[in-house]
């Protein structure tokens, strides 16, 4: 998570009333912190070929790793993206990197553990886009500790960000997702499917989000809202570094991943983002309640 205190309020990258709802050939990103730019190379009619043209997407954890890759991927496919994170500078970077893509990205600074965060995130999406088609819960944290040394604070923080925050945001956005027969994609982990030593709280929090995915899917199916999850193996992001893992330790961890993942390597954020986009799209229109490993075969192995 980002260092320092970050306000739990929406920070649109540009005034919503100035944002176009149609494709044209002009830039809409002239200032630092403004939304993504519509590509000048895009010709009339091209947007209709995009997977998410005319659709609005809310993504948490959008400042790095899988969430960031997904935000940029949705914008590339014509989507209007609300990028949620705690670090305002990193959010401006996501918007800046969205320049030249077909869709646009709007920033929303929020601490998802704050009581008012779900209402503020949803309000920011409605102000910017007037609706929500897709919710991606990608924010997550990890901590390493065995049972005997897992503190109450560690346990509570794992559950608060990895399980409680997605639940609260799903609940807050639900009426808007129902209105558009939308989709939810939760970012879980292979740790939700399999047990691993030394990360008890993290494994439990990810198992919780997996079952939340299944329970919500069966409840929301009558409304046309689909709920699925992706379960990555070791993926090269800042997740482990933010848990306190040093660079040498992290390098050794990635090297060892070559032996623990049958495909012989860790994954990258773009690979996971591709699966998220598929599950959120109409191409996965008959899929719900799935927790899908994307882990180089890690879930097929025994602990080692």
Residue numbers annotated as active site = 202
> Which of these, 185, 219, 188, 217, lies nearest to 202 by C-alpha position?
188
d(CA 136, CA 65): 13
């Amino acid at each position: 998570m980002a260092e320092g205190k970050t306000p739990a309020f929406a920070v649109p990258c540009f005034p919503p009333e100035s944002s176009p709802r149609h494709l044209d050939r002009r830039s809409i990103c002239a200032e630092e912190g403004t939304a993504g730019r519509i590509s000048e190379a895009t010709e009339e009619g091209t947007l209709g070929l995009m997977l998410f043209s005319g659709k609005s997407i809310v993504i948490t954890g959008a400042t790095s790793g899988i969430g960031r890759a997904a935000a940029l991927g949705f914008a590339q496919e014509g989507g209007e993206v609300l990028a949620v994170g705690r670090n305002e500078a990193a959010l401006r970077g996501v918007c800046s990197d969205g320049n030249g893509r077909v869709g646009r990205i709007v920033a929303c600074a929020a601490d998802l553990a704050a009581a008012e965060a779900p209402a503020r995130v949803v309000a920011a999406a409605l102000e910017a886009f007037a609706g929500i088609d897709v919710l991606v819960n990608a924010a997550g944290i990890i901590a390493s500790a065995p049972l005997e040394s897992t503190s109450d604070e560690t346990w509570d923080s794992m559950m608060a960000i990895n399980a409680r925050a997605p639940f609260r945001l799903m609940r807050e956005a639900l009426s808007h997702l129902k209105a558009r027969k939308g989709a939810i994609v939760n970012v879980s982990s292979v740790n939700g499917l399999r047990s691993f030593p030394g990360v008890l709280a993290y494994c439990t929090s990810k198992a919780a989000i997996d079952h939340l995915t299944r329970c919500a899917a069966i409840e929301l199916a009558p409304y046309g809202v689909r709920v699925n999850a992706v379960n990555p193996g070791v993926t090269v992001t800042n997740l482990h570094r933010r848990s306190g893992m040093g660079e040498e330790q992290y390098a050794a961890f990635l090297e060892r991943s070559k032996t623990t993942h049958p495909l012989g390597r860790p994954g990258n954020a773009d690979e996971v983002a591709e699966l998220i986009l598929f599950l959120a799209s109409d191409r996965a229109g008959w899929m719900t309640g799935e927790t899908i490993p994307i882990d180089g075969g890690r879930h097929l192995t025994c602990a080692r």
